[in-house]
Structure formats: C-alpha cells, structure tokens
Chain A
Amino acid sequence: MMSTSSKEMKTRPQQPHGRRAGRRRWRLRLVEFLAEDEMIEIVPNIRMEALNMICGDYGPFFPQIATRVPLWLAVALRKRGKCTIRSPEWMSVERLTQVLESERESPREFQPLPFHYIEISRLLFDHAHDDIQNIYMVRSLIEDIRDVRFHKVETGLETIAGRTHAVKLKNLSAMEVNIVRPFMVRALQAFYKHDSPQVIQQSEPMGTRRPQAVDRGPRRDLRPR
C-alpha cells in the first residue's frame, strides 16, 4: 500500500501540463472506445433471446454455440460470467511469433495487424485473462511487436528534414498513431515554418525562384532509406 501511494506522489508533479495530459488520457479512452466495436467470437453458456441494439441485432444465444458480438458486449457478458471469449486467431502464439519475426526482418514496413490490436489485447487481458491460452507469452509478444514497430516509427521520423506535406504510414495501428500524433504534428508544423520559402530562399536571386503556388513540399514515406 505504502509503495503505491509513494509512487503516485513521485509521478504526479512530473506531469508536464495537467490539462494537456488529461486530454491525452481522454483520447486514449476514446481510441479504446472505438476498439470496442470490433467483432469477436464468444461461446455463451446461457440461453438468451436476441439482443436488439441500435448498432445491430446480436444473438440469440445458445449454450456452447459460438456467435459473433462486438467486443463491448463480449466484455459485459464475460464480466457476468455468461460466456467465454475465444481469442482472435491473430492472438495465438504462433501467429504473433511469426509477425514479430517478420517485423524484425523488414525494417522498412509494418506487418498487417488489426487496426486496434493494442486496445483489443489489453481489453482481453483485463477482462478475459482465463480465456487466453499462454497469456504471458501472448502479452510479452504483443509488447515486443509494439516496441519493434515503435522503433521503426522513430527511425522513420528521423528522416524528416524539411517541408513535408504528407507522411505515409501503411499498416500503422490506431494506438500507434495516437502515440506519435502530438509529436509528429508539432514537428511537421515546425519544419513547415522554418523551411518556408519566405524564410529560406530570399538569399537567392529572383530569377531562380520556383513558383510557390505549386511547391507544397515533397511527399515522404516514413521509412529509412
């Protein structure tokens, strides 16, 4: 008990801007909320009528017969002990090991994973940890994949050195975008400002000036070359 409270005391004053950090935490919840709409397979252990929701009709539910529902419904049922969740097929140890290997082998691109893989895995770890086989293995694999991918994003960001109007990030997931967004937006803004023709090209004679209307800066793939 003591240790947790002292940790809290230590971390709290170092929040850089309380308001901004709060907004960021809220954004994380929003991303998580969006992830809860992903469909997932459950095996109910009760008999229940179909549920008619605004977003769609789910069920009817019969014991031991698998059906697909949104993640939020799955979590709600799981909390009440009315079903077990089948972990999605990409969350198996073999698949994740394979993904991790190919992530490591190709430093230029991201492997296709579900758009919300970080959020889905966290929700399942939190609420359905008994339903996932090899949960420790899966958890650490997902951590590793995330680290490798984030490192790629960082090395990609290093290549930005001038005015850039678009950054291509194929297969990046929602949470990864959410993490780099504040930094990236600011960095691109700063480059845009400092690399503007008004500031830089004034030293050149007028004749060699490019027409500014078409110059929107180069497009850039977020990959090391």
Chain B
Amino acid sequence: MPSYYDIDDILMEEEPLSVVFQVGANAVGLLDPSSETNSVDKGAKVDLPFWLAHELYLRQAVSISVPACFSQRTRKEIQADAACVDLSFRCPYFYELGCKIVPLVGDKTIGSFVHYTFTSRYKEILSKSHSTHVSTGPKFLNRFTKEERQLFDAARSSMVAFKKWREGGSRLERASVLGRKRKTTIPLPPSATP
C-alpha cells in the first residue's frame, strides 16, 4: 500500500513495467501504441506504469515480467563492483521497486538481490558521505538512486551544519554595510561621492 503523502512513493509508482496481457481488453487501445484497433489483444506485450500493472495483476488480467534493472546482466555487474554501477540510470527507484515487485513476479531471488546490492553500496555511501568535502562529489552522486541520495544528503548536511556551528562565533550576523571601511583620508565634497 503506498503511503499517501510520500512523494517518492508516488513517483516510484510511475516506473514503467513490461507486462503481458492474459486477456483481451476492449476500448483501451491507447495503452498499446502498436495496436491498430481500439483494443489490446490477449498476449500483447505492453509497458504500463507500476500502479496500473499492479491493479491489473491483482485482477489477473496481466502477468508482469522482471524489469531490466533486475536482469542477470545487472546482477553480474553488481556482483563485480556494486559501488560503480550507475543504478540511477537503470532505475532511480531501484530499491523501492524491488521491494514492491517481489510478490508480483515469479522470481523470488529479487529480494535477496536488492538486499545484497544495498549492503554492498551502503559502505560506499558511508565512507563518502561523512568525509567528503562539500565542494567535491557530483561525479559519484549521479550513480546513486533516490534512496541512496537521501542517505548521503542526510549525512552530509548534518556534517555541514555541525561545521558551521563550530566555526560560527556570534549568533548575530553582521550587516555587510557595517564592515565597510570609512574613507577618512580625503574629505570629498558631497556631490563627488559615489
């Protein structure tokens, strides 16, 4: 069940899934761009967003195939070096989708695969987030999925806030006007001052 107010959850449900229709459906030709009539035939392969695929799956109208981001090829890459895989490109909601799709597809290894991926990438996030200097970083940030990114930001912004707190001496900020040096050397007539 999606949490109603969670924007990430809502966006995640937009992820397209490839499904195969188990029944013919009339008057929904817009779902299948390749169909010539205004209906989807039985056995047609269509990309649907997760929310729609899920509902249709519950009514046994479609069967869902394993998305590309959980394919054998991705698994091999993750096993080789999890931290270097650009998961954000594959699927920005990799973990959320993984958790939600487990009951919907036949492949039961997805759950442990998602867990394995997170565990091995977690160390990378941990070591980078607290130590990295603020100005560096966008290079590997692009590889992170949404969830990893949030984790990283949580650590980094608390570190930044702490550093600010430690340095900042006074609570009152000085207006920039006050810092200006007065020109006292050459008294100018009022009209000549800028």
CA distance A199 to B119 in the complex (A): 15
A24 touches B135 (CB 8 A): no
| Distance between A63 CB and nearest chain B CB, rounded to angstroms | 29
A28 touches B130 (CB 8 A): no
B165 touches A11 (CB 8 A): no
B134 touches A161 (CB 8 A): no
Does any Cβ of A come within 8 Å of B147's Cβ?
Answer: yes
Binds B, one of A48-56, A97-105, A183-191: A183-191
| Distance between A9 CB and nearest chain B CB, rounded to angstroms | 12
Number of interface residues of B (CB under 8 A): 41
Does any Cβ of A come within 8 Å of B56's Cβ?
Answer: no
Does any Cβ of A come within 8 Å of B57's Cβ?
Answer: no
* A interface SS class: helix
Digitize B85-119: 1 where CB-to-A-CB distance is under 8 Å, 0 elsewhere.
Answer: 00000000001001100110000110110110011
Query: What residues of B have a CB within 8 angstroms of the CB of A187 in the complex?
Result: 122, 126, 151
Binds B, one of A83-91, A109-117, A174-182, A212-220: A174-182
Q: Chain A: which residue is nearest B137 at the CB level?
A: A14
Please report which residues of chain A, range 1-16, place their CB below 8 angstroms from some CB of chain B when the two chains form the complex: 1, 5, 10-11, 14-16
Please report which residues of chain A, range 190-206, place their CB below 8 angstroms from some CB of chain B when the two chains form the complex: 190-191, 193-196, 198-203
B109 touches A203 (CB 8 A): yes
CA distance A157 to B156 in the complex (A): 15
Q: A154-B126, A154-B127, A199-B102 are in contact. Are A186 and B158 (CB under 8 A)?
A: no
Query: What residues of A have a CB within 8 angstroms of the CB of B129 in the complex?
Result: 183
Q: A175-B162, A179-B162, A193-B99 are in contact. Are A11 and B134 (CB under 8 A)?
A: yes
Q: Chain B: which residue is nearest A181 at the CB level?
A: B158
Query: What residues of A have a CB within 8 angstroms of the CB of B30 in the complex?
Result: none
Q: By CB atoms of chain B within 10 A, which of A28, A32, A194, A202 has the most?
A: A194
Query: What residues of B have a CB within 8 angstroms of the CB of A126 in the complex?
Result: 169
Does any Cβ of B come within 8 Å of A168's Cβ?
Answer: no
- Residue in contact with B156 in the complex, picked from A16, A122, A162, CB distance below 8 Å: A16
Q: Chain B: which residue is nearest A4 at the CB level?
A: B179
Query: What residues of A have a CB within 8 angstroms of the CB of B180 in the complex?
Result: 1
Query: What residues of A have a CB within 8 angstroms of the CB of B156 in the complex?
Result: 16
Q: Chain B: which residue is nearest A160 at the CB level?
A: B122
Could you list 16 A-B pairs, sorted by A, with CB under 8 Å? Answer: A1-B180, A14-B134, A16-B156, A17-B157, A20-B157, A28-B165, A29-B165, A157-B126, A179-B162, A183-B126, A183-B151, A196-B99, A198-B103, A202-B102, A203-B109, A203-B111
B-binding residues in A (CB < 8 A): 1, 5, 10-11, 14-17, 20-21, 24-25, 27-29, 32, 122, 126, 150, 154, 157-158, 160-162, 175, 178-183, 185-187, 190-191, 193-196, 198-203
A-binding residues in B (CB < 8 A): 95, 98-99, 102-103, 108-109, 111-112, 114-115, 118-119, 122-123, 126-127, 129-130, 134-135, 147, 150-151, 153-162, 164-166, 169, 176, 179-180
